[in-house]
Chains A and B, each alone.
Chain A
Amino acid sequence: MATSAPQTLDAELANLHAQIAHLRHRRANLSTTLLAHPNTSTLLNTNRPRGIQKPAHRSAASVLSKQQNHTTHSLHRALAGCTAYKVQDPDPYAVDSGRVLGVQIEVFTNGAFLPPYHILLHRPYATHPHTLKIHKHTLPPCIPLSQLARKHLPQPAKNEAGEPVQDLQKLVRAVRWETQSWHLRVAAVERLREEAGLGPTHPRAPEDEEVGVMQGLDVDANPGDVLNGYVAPARQGPRRKGQIVAVEADRAVSAVSIEWAGGLGVRMRVTKDGEVEKGVARWRSGERDERTERAVLGRIEGVVERLGGRR
């Protein structure tokens, strides 16, 4: 009894916490529904006696307006995809007395919005007071931001007096397109892995990671041969692809590779909008498999199905 008591108490506690969380969520949900309902504000206005403002009314009105503001804000974020805002840089030495323009870029995949990306711009040039420059950003390096900035947000040259023509809208639009298409490609590769019966790329268990496995080099082959660029020919015989053992992509998902247990590997180049542009299929011995290469071309989404690797 005494030994089991802490356990049961812990279980009870966890249960209660879960209940509280659930109820909180429900309350928030209900209050939002109530506040967002169009009838609420009309009722509140019509039932109010003329001239008199009770504190309850006032607080209700303030909550209501807050909710309305939030709804508008969220709608803008969801529908426009890019939201501009102002930031004050706390650094006392910041240029332009710390005024920073932020742009928030939303990305939508798999029925949900991902954490947004931010681009923060400032105006560092005393001689060109309207010229913007990217100060900080939170985009991963596989998004070619610096190239896009060079194109749409050119910086003033050293011995030129005029301000360069900048187009922030075009830049943001281009960056949004890049990020959105990147996330779609990432999601497509994840789906391919699912179709092939493989787990997700980043399993949440860091402890069972493999240490000391050579990558890219064929460990089974004689190491000296591999290092000298020569791979021994495989055994001859009827070839079967077998199951897909690996679907991998680089970070930018511009190159995707699929490998089969039978020793066939396909590498394909994917364009930014998700089209497989080129593909090379090779057996381990080095022979090309042209039928597979032809089947690879097309949208990235159905690659595994087209290659007959679906389970």
Chain B
Amino acid sequence: MAPRGGLSVPTNGVLGHSLRIPSTNTELVRALSRLRRESLISVVLQWLDKKHRNFCQPYLYADHDPDDAENEHLEYDPPAQSLEELREVYEGHKKGKGSRKEIADRILCGDWRHGISLYQLAMVEERLLLDHPTSHKWYGKRLVRKREQEPGVEPGDYADDFPRFQAATFLQSLANQLSPLMKAHYYFTRQKNMHKGMGLTLMRIFMHDSPYNTEQSLHDVQPQTSGGSSAAKAVWVAFPDGSPYVYLSISTSPGQRVGYEALSLQKLLYDAVPQALSKPFKRYELQDTKLHTRSLEALLTLRGSRGSNAAPGGWSIFVDNKLNQNTLDFGINPPSKDAIKKSKPPNPAHVHDRAGKENNTRTTKRGRRNTALADEEAAESPASKRWKQVAEGRFGNSGVEGDGMALERVEVRIDDAFPASVIPAVLDEEDIQNPRPTARKSKAYGRPSRPSELDREADETASTPGAGSADWRPDVRATFYGSHVFAGIRQLAEKGVVDGERMPGWMTGEAGVSIGVVKDGKIRTRNNIV
């Protein structure tokens, strides 16, 4: 433990795991209050576990200072005698004693009254991240070699384009770069099976804008930052296994205001990540892949280590290999046909009805449910059947809730010339504008939004030849919101609201981006081979 109130000298070190922040910290209280009861208890039990115990020391009876004047608290709120006793107390809570609030109070005012260590805070936030997977907004970035700085190296010579990620080395290098600028606490954790067997290494960085790495400096900063600007100082960086991507998080929980200082610290950090992965003669930088989402699953599907990166949307049928049977299967009546039927996405109509069904009794026999479904299908008109087939053809197995590709915000700018013959093409743009009630033109009305990233691209395109030609190119932008944008578009296509046959390909999500510019009916991407 660092000596409290001892010598404070600006150093090059990092913030240690066991440095404590006072238990009155608003940020800490808020984080604890957002945890569910069982998560809270399991986190505390982890703190008391042998593996983590060193950094999570509770306040025990042996710790109290007999000469302290404020000793009267020992009488009405005695600290526990030993770790085992504490364990038993929290195991007791697990069985149902005490409310969530009571347990949180016991942690903050009782067993950890001397403060919660940075390590503990990191564990709490990790649990929050796993419990509320959509609480952070993630940016999918790609690591690319800085080519222009390495003359004489042919692009084909890069046998292995992405660096080997080794946590300890990376951390050392990152800390070396960042420590002159800020003090930070680093916490690593690993999820072996985040989504479909894909692993993810998560790093949490708690940034502390001070030249000192003592506990005192953490205390001093407290009153100034209680206004909320310190909130976003902890960010996550995620490294999926075996893929050249890095996910950066922007924490956007409600009620948090990200201050200018915090933003600049974040920027420093994000600049340092590729540099820390670089080696001499192997320099990397981060390139935006135009995919911003709240869902880590979507990132792992579209920017992960599987083959699903470069075949999103309707092309995902090639990933799932629903096209043909196994090579060694010589029968023409393949058993995989049943498999296709089983793995077919649930019909959105059924999804729609499911809510109603669950309102009914859950004891409905399977047979009855099946007959009910059969009735619905029989009642379908040929047109709606056709729409469904078209949607199936365009979307394949994607665009279904729970397919792991949930993008909740998709922005596009349409750069095509306004069609001279108004008849069919206007309809298309109308479709794009109005497919769902929430979709709206972001520039025309509504709140003055933040400068969109699409604007930046506008500058790029302005210089290209042809942009200033005689065609009228109105500034049309469409933004789609929703829990799963492409599932929504698929449902609309199945209902016949969107013409599934004339719909451009980017509306099926086959570009795999959440922000883009549409030209000639396609979203332009920098390099097609992801």
Q: How many Cβ-Cβ contacts under 8 Å join chain A to chain B?
A: 193
Minimal Cβ-Cβ distance residue in B for A209: B192
The reply to whether B126 and A202 form a contact with Cβ atoms under 8 Å apart is no
The reply to whether B502 and A92 form a contact with Cβ atoms under 8 Å apart is yes
B residues 252-309 touching A (CB-CB < 8 Å): 305-309
The reply to whether A252 and B166 form a contact with Cβ atoms under 8 Å apart is no
B318 within 8 A of partner (CB): yes
Q: Which residues of B lie under 8 Å from residue A137 when comparing CB positions?
A: 307, 310-311, 529
B residues 117-133 touching A (CB-CB < 8 Å): 123, 126-127, 130
The reply to whether B307 and A140 form a contact with Cβ atoms under 8 Å apart is yes
Q: Which residues of A lie under 8 Å from residue B335 when comparing CB positions?
A: 24-25, 28
Among A39-47, A157-165, A222-230, A299-307, the one that faces the other chain is A222-230
B333 within 8 A of partner (CB): yes
B residues 412-429 touching A (CB-CB < 8 Å): none
Q: Which residues of A lie under 8 Å from residue B393 when comparing CB positions?
A: 90
Q: Which residues of A lie under 8 Å from residue B311 when comparing CB positions?
A: 118, 120, 136-138
Complex CA–CA separation, A228 to B175 (angstroms): 9
Among B101-109, B321-329, B470-478, the one that faces the other chain is B321-329
Complex CA–CA separation, A95 to B309 (angstroms): 21
A99 within 8 A of partner (CB): no
A115 within 8 A of partner (CB): yes
B469 within 8 A of partner (CB): no
Q: Which residues of B lie under 8 Å from residue A281 when comparing CB positions?
A: none
The reply to whether A90 and B314 form a contact with Cβ atoms under 8 Å apart is yes
Complex CA–CA separation, A89 to B123 (angstroms): 48
A262 within 8 A of partner (CB): no
Assuming the contacts A28-B335, A212-B126, asked whether A251 and B192 have C-beta atoms less than 8 A apart, the reply is no
Highest count of chain A CB atoms <10 Å: which of B126, B315, B318, B504: B318
Q: Which residues of A lie under 8 Å from residue B13 when comparing CB positions?
A: 224, 227-228
Complex CA–CA separation, A223 to B305 (angstroms): 31
The reply to whether A74 and B329 form a contact with Cβ atoms under 8 Å apart is yes
The reply to whether A138 and B167 form a contact with Cβ atoms under 8 Å apart is no
The reply to whether A78 and B327 form a contact with Cβ atoms under 8 Å apart is yes
Minimal Cβ-Cβ distance residue in A for B201: A215
Minimal Cβ-Cβ distance residue in A for B334: A28
Complex CA–CA separation, A209 to B308 (angstroms): 24
A237 within 8 A of partner (CB): no
Highest count of chain B CB atoms <10 Å: which of A113, A136, A151, A202: A136
Among B73-81, B153-161, B483-491, the one that faces the other chain is B153-161
Complex CA–CA separation, A219 to B520 (angstroms): 55
The reply to whether A144 and B160 form a contact with Cβ atoms under 8 Å apart is yes
The reply to whether A135 and B172 form a contact with Cβ atoms under 8 Å apart is no
Highest count of chain B CB atoms <10 Å: which of A25, A29, A90, A149: A90
- A71: shortest Cβ distance to chain B, in Å? 6
Chain A interface residue count, Cβ-Cβ cutoff 8 angstroms:
72
Interface string of A119-135 (1 = CB under 8 A from B): 01000000000000111
A97 within 8 A of partner (CB): no
B37 within 8 A of partner (CB): no
The reply to whether A106 and B327 form a contact with Cβ atoms under 8 Å apart is yes
B510 within 8 A of partner (CB): yes
The reply to whether A215 and B310 form a contact with Cβ atoms under 8 Å apart is no
Q: Which residues of B lie under 8 Å from residue A120 when comparing CB positions?
A: 311, 315, 318
The reply to whether A74 and B330 form a contact with Cβ atoms under 8 Å apart is yes
Complex CA–CA separation, A264 to B321 (angstroms): 42
- B18: shortest Cβ distance to chain A, in Å? 7
Q: Which residues of B lie under 8 Å from residue A210 when comparing CB positions?
A: 190, 192
Complex CA–CA separation, A135 to B51 (angstroms): 49
Q: Which residues of B lie under 8 Å from residue A1 when comparing CB positions?
A: none
Complex CA–CA separation, A210 to B130 (angstroms): 13
Q: Which residues of A lie under 8 Å from residue B191 when comparing CB positions?
A: 209, 211
Complex CA–CA separation, A18 to B123 (angstroms): 46
B436 within 8 A of partner (CB): no
Among B92-100, B241-249, B341-349, B441-449, the one that faces the other chain is B241-249
Minimal Cβ-Cβ distance residue in B for A76: B327
Complex CA–CA separation, A213 to B315 (angstroms): 37
- B313: shortest Cβ distance to chain A, in Å? 9
Q: Which residues of B lie under 8 Å from residue A145 when comparing CB positions?
A: 529
Assuming the contacts A144-B159, A202-B193, asked whether A250 and B164 have C-beta atoms less than 8 A apart, the reply is yes
Q: Which residues of A lie under 8 Å from residue B201 when comparing CB positions?
A: 215
B168 within 8 A of partner (CB): yes
The reply to whether B242 and A213 form a contact with Cβ atoms under 8 Å apart is no
- B156: shortest Cβ distance to chain A, in Å? 5
Q: Which residues of A lie under 8 Å from residue B55 when comparing CB positions?
A: 223
Q: Which residues of B lie under 8 Å from residue A117 when comparing CB positions?
A: 307
Assuming the contacts A90-B394, A216-B167, asked whether A223 and B17 have C-beta atoms less than 8 A apart, the reply is yes
User: Which chain B residues have a beta carbon within 8 Å of chain A's beta carbons?
Assistant: 13-14, 16-18, 46, 51-52, 54-55, 123, 126-127, 130, 155-156, 158-162, 164, 166-168, 171-172, 175, 186-193, 197, 201, 241-244, 305-311, 314-315, 318-319, 321, 326-335, 393-394, 501-505, 508, 510, 520-522, 527-530
Kindly list 9 other residue pairs between chains A and B, CB separation below 8 angstroms, not including A78-B328, A210-B190, A250-B242: A92-B521, A140-B307, A141-B309, A149-B529, A206-B193, A213-B190, A214-B187, A216-B166, A224-B17
**Which A-B residue pairs are the 6 nearest by beta carbons?**
A251-B242, A93-B521, A216-B167, A91-B505, A138-B307, A113-B327
